[in-house]
Structure 1
Amino acid sequence: MQKILDAIMADELDALASIPVPESYRGVTVRADEVDMFEGVPHREKDPRRSLHLDEVPTPELGPGEALVAVMASAINYNTVWTSIFEPLPTFAFLSRYGRTSPLAARHDQPFHVVGSDLAGVVLRTGPGVNNWKPGDEVVAHCLSVELEHPDGHDDTMLDPEQRIWGFETNYGGLAEIALVKTNQLMPKPAHLSWEEAAAPGLVNSTAYRQLVSANGAGMKQGDVVLIWGASGGLGSYATQFALNGGAIPVCVVSSPAKAEICRRMGAELIIDRAAENYRFWKDEHTQDPREWKRFGARIRELTGGEDPDIVFEHPGRETFGASVYVAKKGGTIVTCASTSGYLHQYDNRYLWMSLKRIVGSHFANYREAYQANRMIAKGKIHPTLSKVYPLAETGQAALDVHHNSHQGKVGVLCLAPEEGLGVRDHELRAKHLAAINRFRGV
């Protein structure tokens, strides 16, 4: 690994093809024999620092259409948090199911799971049949893993029956020194960003693009009022940028003055601090409070000059979904990609059917959508929302930050990169956008 890192640091990328790939590398794992470690522990008290380990793992065999990538940096997503606390179930069932699909996929069925669904790094090796990528290419990876052996996936690859999220439903993810990816996951690294900045947008930026912009999601248009839950968070910070960039009117829902200020820095003007205004959408564990839905809707109309949201950008799930359905305008769209507060949603269906609203499910993005989202990053139209960076050995703490929602934007992880700020190629473009690139840092 040191020879590989030395070549990258010396900008001798052509030499990587001749440097042997090590037989093992360091990766952040969960272990199959520890899946019961949090049994009886309340959700919030489950600590990723106990379950995430920095282990030496064997380098997987390289198959057709695949690449091994030297990972310079990665980032934390909620799926890594879920994996680390074994909720809603341990991911080893995913790996086992994948392993049964083919002899090559059996590599993924291991008693360890190398996690992580983001990376920025350098291609080390490509497998048979790969033409678009070669050793030495600087890349980022999106997390869609598909087989495309079934017709359903060829209109929209997210509909492939063998669609999986790399690093969550597959092994050998990005929180490691080396990652195994399919080469149709690779995209050019934005040249004006450092490794850790380039690694941060991948999953959430692509997810927000499909959910909000794509015709497969809400199909946002100019002038749309878009209610964005968690507007300063990992997903919401990109949704806010896409709304502003696309001529929409974001209404940003946050939970603190600091998060409200982040939204203002992005250019948003309509902001609701739900903590300060004390919205309580549930009277108790089993009963929602429609009066709070109405109070919330009235506040939105107060900000927008009497308009209800054309689109509600949903991901909190159970806690907010009843309110989301209620406040969407007649004929509006509630588009959901996650359920971080609970999977069993409850809402009053009268407000859906009688007002001709739509609920749209959205999950990650297909390759084209991910590429388009990355292109917006590369052109400096959308910016990373990286707030803090940890070394690989402290991935557990990084995951704990996200688990407890004590972060802003995205939390990054340095893998092979020895320090922050490396990997920038286009200094001129960077200088034009430096303030925007750094607006989440240190918050």
Structure 2
Amino acid sequence: MSELIDAVLAGAPGERLAGLPLPDRYRAAYIRKQDVGMFGDDETDPDVRRSIHVGEVAMPELAPDEALVAVMASAVNFNTVWSATFKPVPTFAFLERIGRQGPRAARHDLPEQVIGSDASGVVVRVGSAVEHWGPGDRVVVSPTYASGQVTSGSGDGMVADDILAWGYETNFGGMADFAVVKANQLLPKPEHLTWEESAANMLCGMTVYRMLVSPNGARMKQGDVVLIWGAAGGLGGYAVQMVKNGGGIPVAMVGSEERAELMRDLGCEAVINRQEFMNSPGGLKSPKVLRRMGETIRRLVGEDPHIVFEHTGQETFGASVYLARRGGSVVTCGSSSGYQHDYDNRYLWMKVKRIVGSHGANMAEAHEANRLLRLGMIVPTLSVTYPLTEAGEATRAVQLGKHVGKVGIRCLAPSDGLGVEDHALRARVGEQRIGLFRKY
């Protein structure tokens, strides 16, 4: 521990934090370039506990538009699994690409990569060009990493030529005691949430906001039926809440009766256990099974889905294209079960459906998603936390799909339950609702 870390944990004011020296090294979860290739192409179980290391790394210099955050908590996302398995491509290729952009960018091209794309914490330093943030500010981090200076992103930052995913396509991510971020990634921490609850939301929450609510996504409107695959997962849990808040009708697709109960507790009335269909002869490749699935949805809510919320990919995409109503949309942000999608294109073109690709969120969308969290209108989907020393175990749980909601990582926070400032709002939202996913 350093004097600076002690001061952060003691709640010291910003002036005090700014005057304390930075440590030369800090603790982090990282992967190593020398380990690329450790999992062979034919390896059926690339165990991420073998590739994720926890130890000290060098403290980088801060650029003028950056901030250094003392990380109280972080969270695991599926991109952490991709990083640690070095697939579909080793992320060191991204770091090499950044390193060619100039002297400051070259800091990222290192033999190790600090991973993690979510964080909550306290600002301890800001670069010379940062005006709106300072030491002592309590923040959460958007993983959208961009300069904000590229004109191709003027209308929508996610189409900018320099857009990257922080902690996946960059170095110095959130699964550490300190993290380096662009100042435009910073957002105010929800005051009624703990450090670990705050850290669990941004990547998934803002991704879902863009997919469903933003004009850049599926443009959900009141009364829309939205079929949500993996509804009990990190993305799915936020999708159910945003559909309900927006006046839509969520249909939760889950993998067990326990997860179905979680969805009902979250307020979703229409819940389907997908195992009933996937275990049938032919599974989701069978037209007969898909017709039965469509009949089940209509029996529950009376209509076919206006929107199908996709992130599982290969396993479910053909079913999604089939199940969307005439003129409906499939919105996708990932492919956790595989990237090569097979679907019958007749259902797409003859019934004038749309496939909408969505990735992350721009600054405005991230702001709006965080605003919903700060108002208590969206609650965290955090189900369990691990200490930073067990980052490999936490990521393994996500890799195997053993979790519900989000898996958190305590970095500097010595225990769960710390960091709440607005106790009145927390009481209004309710401990039972805020901690719902922990029940499961």
TM category, shorter: over 0.9
The answer to whether the aligner puts 1:356 opposite 2:355 as a matched pair is: no
Q: Is the 8 A contact 2:8 2:70 kept in 1?
A: no
Partner residue, 1:11: 11
Once the two structures are TM-superposed, the CA of residue 89 in structure 1 deviates from its matched residue by: 1.4
Q: Which secondary structure does the structure 1 equivalent of 2:438 belong to?
A: coil
Q: Is the 8 A contact 1:98 1:108 kept in 2?
A: yes
Distance 1:174 1:38 in 2: 25
Q: 2:432 aligns with which of 430, 435, 441?
A: 435
Q: Map of 1:99-118 to 2, 5 A cutoff? A: 99-118=99-118
Q: Which secondary structure does the structure 1 equivalent of 2:73 belong to?
A: strand
Q: Is the 8 A contact 1:147 1:160 kept in 2?
A: no
Partner residue, 1:221: 221
TM-score w.r.t. the length of structure 1 is 0.97
Q: 2:288 aligns with which of 288, 291, 299?
A: 291
Distance 1:423 1:3 in 2: 20
1:274-307 C-alpha deviation (Å, 9 max, x unpaired): 11x13258949xx9322222121111111112x1
Once the two structures are TM-superposed, the CA of residue 8 in structure 1 deviates from its matched residue by: 2.4
Distance 2:417 2:406 in 1: 16
1:17-53 C-alpha deviation (Å, 9 max, x unpaired): 111111110110000001111114534x211111100
Q: Which secondary structure does the structure 1 equivalent of 2:404 belong to?
A: coil
Q: Map of 1:201-220 to 2, 5 A cutoff? A: 201-220=201-220
Distance 1:339 1:48 in 2: 19
C-alpha RMSD of the superposition: 1.3
Identity of aligned residues (%): 54
Q: Is the 8 A contact 1:234 1:385 kept in 2?
A: yes
Q: Map of 1:32-431 to 2, 5 A cutoff? A: 32-40=33-41, 42-43=43-44, 45-275=45-275, 277-279=276-278, 283=282, 288-305=285-302, 307-431=303-427
Distance 1:64 1:282 in 2: 59
Q: Is the 8 A contact 2:2 2:23 kept in 1?
A: no
Distance 2:382 2:336 in 1: 20
1:86-145 C-alpha deviation (Å, 9 max, x unpaired): 111110001101111121111000010000000000001000111010001000001001
Q: Is the 8 A contact 1:73 1:417 kept in 2?
A: yes
Once the two structures are TM-superposed, the CA of residue 57 in structure 1 deviates from its matched residue by: 0.7
Distance 2:328 2:143 in 1: 30
| Count of residues in correspondence between the two structures | 438
Once the two structures are TM-superposed, the CA of residue 386 in structure 1 deviates from its matched residue by: 0.6
1:182-233 C-alpha deviation (Å, 9 max, x unpaired): 0000000000011000000010001011011111001111100000000010
Distance 1:227 1:359 in 2: 14
Distance 2:282 2:400 in 1: 23
Q: Which secondary structure does the structure 1 equivalent of 2:278 belong to?
A: coil
Distance 2:221 2:300 in 1: 20
Distance 2:281 2:325 in 1: 22
1:235-280 C-alpha deviation (Å, 9 max, x unpaired): 00000000011110000000001110111111000000011x1325
Distance 2:249 2:295 in 1: 17
Distance 1:71 1:325 in 2: 41
Write the letter of the residue equivalent to 2:362.
N
Q: Which secondary structure does the structure 2 equivalent of 1:318 belong to?
A: coil
Q: Is the 8 A contact 2:26 2:58 kept in 1?
A: yes
Q: Is the 8 A contact 1:71 1:120 kept in 2?
A: yes
Distance 1:34 1:93 in 2: 13
Q: Which secondary structure does the structure 2 equivalent of 1:208 belong to?
A: helix
Distance 2:75 2:145 in 1: 18
Distance 1:148 1:2 in 2: 34
Write the letter of the residue equivalent to 2:56.
E
Q: Which secondary structure does the structure 1 equivalent of 2:253 belong to?
A: strand
Distance 1:11 1:186 in 2: 19
Q: Which secondary structure does the structure 2 equivalent of 1:440 belong to?
A: helix
Q: Is the 8 A contact 1:281 1:290 kept in 2?
A: no
Moved over 6 A (4+): none
Distance 1:280 1:210 in 2: 33
Unaligned runs of 5+ in 2: none
1:141-160 C-alpha deviation (Å, 9 max, x unpaired): 01001123432111100001
Unaligned runs of 5+ in 1: none
Distance 2:412 2:40 in 1: 34
Q: Which secondary structure does the structure 1 equivalent of 2:339 belong to?
A: coil
Q: Is the 8 A contact 1:280 1:292 kept in 2?
A: no
Distance 1:140 1:39, change over 3 A: same
Distance 1:51 1:13 in 2: 38
